[in-house]
Amino acid sequence: MPDLHALYRDLHEHPELSLQEFRTAGVLADALRPLGYDVTTEVGGTGVVGVLRNGDGPVVMLRADIDALPVQETTGLPYASTVRATNPDGEDVPVAHACGHDMHATCLIGAAERLSQTREEWSGTLLVVFQPAEELGRGARDMVEDGLFGRFGKPEVVLAQHVSPLPAGMIAYGSGPLMAASDSVRVTLFGRGGHGSAPETAIDPVLMAAHTVVRLQGIVAREVAPSERAVVTVGRLQAGTKENVIPETAEIGVNIRTFNEHIRGIVRTAVERIVRAEAAASGAPREPEFDWYDGTPVLVSDPDATTRTMAAFAEHFGKSNLIPGAVVNASEDVGVFGTAAGVPTVFWFLGGTDFGTREPGQAVAMNHSPEYAPDVEPTLTTGVDALIVAARTWLG
């Protein structure tokens, strides 16, 4: 598949941050138009939608995400990214496809091409969706709010995949809750600034933040039942400009992963309670401020629809190449599409690591690592086939 290999290398070498996927969208739209699809760009910002109508039958949606991450790639590949861009905070950052979205997009172009070439073998309508801003947890919502289903038709099922460091050629799947809900919050703690030599004249927000970070680690251990899954991570703590100056504020960034709304509510409430309590214990002059953002719901792979799709996978790939029971704490916003349309979502993980090319004991990079990039083959061939088999399972 030389054309697809070239497309993948091009996308990998030219990554774009969330909400900035202008070049990527153009490349994908240009690849889709010659295949007979009605193509619309700028859906939900930088999203691309292709529609291929082929007689009576169900509408089936295939989705791929297209945004990249602010990561400095260190893979050493000849087509490694050297791109830099300006993030929403105005900072110059490196950019790389460290999560594999370039592979997702390429696989979807390959599936769209082959399905177009075999129209005599199926009937219905293909809705091919290239979604921006997955890493922000908002791209799917933006496309829905831009009238995705009213403009292009409501599908019978939403189908999508994600490359992972599983053995290439393997597919992992789960039934029911598959990926966690994600919530992030920026917390601002307020103190009273002063000289580092006279802490008694100040209220130190750095100490306040430090106690808060430690206390937050007790939420999962002491407020969530051991039978449930939850994660609370403090990924950012920023305060001050000089070692002998007590600042007036401190900021912490907290991320939460949960698998049901009840536990989600417990953890969110506990975070705010602990932050407020630590601020009060420090004598803060103001209540802390909370900015909740990037909320992503639990991704549920519909049990019945998953069973139907995986039966087709087993026939095509062989049962030995399917890994059942996958559940991960990472998050994905693709479920927003199925929920908004009121239809099932089926999601699976695509193996992207050719262990035959690895030295014994060699570490395998995970998604979001600067060293992560899937092995192009057999990952690309498997990903294209998986989307085609899944689509054909639901088309007439």
Q: Binding site: residue ranges?
A: 99, 101, 135, 162, 368
Max distance between CA atoms of the chain, in angstroms, equals: 81
Nearest to 267 by CA among 292, 287, 288: 292
Nearest to 191 by CA among 124, 251, 256: 251
Sequential DSSP letters for 68-113: BBS-------TT----EEE-TTS-EEE-B-TTSHHHHHHHHHHHHH
Nearest to 282 by CA among 344, 360, 159, 190: 190
CA distance 322 to 313: 8
Contact yes or no for 176/300 (Cβ under 8 A): yes
CA distance 61 to 63: 6
- Locate 208 and state its tokens: 């306040």
Binding-site residues from annotation for Mn(2+): 99, 101, 135, 162, 368
Strands (E), the chain: 38-43, 47-54, 59-65, 84-86, 92-94, 124-131, 157-167, 171-173, 176-179, 181-190, 194-195, 230-239, 245-246, 249-258, 289-296, 299-301, 322-324, 345-353
CA dihedral sign, ordered 365, 105, 295, 345: negative
What order do you get walking across the sheet with 124-131 strand by strand? 38-43, 47-54, 124-131, 59-65, 157-167, 345-353, 171-173, 322-324
- Locate 337 and state its tokens: 């599409």
The vertex-49 CA angle with 353 and 35, nearest 5°, equals 80
Residue given tokens 């890994």 in the structure block: 323
CA distance 337 to 315: 28
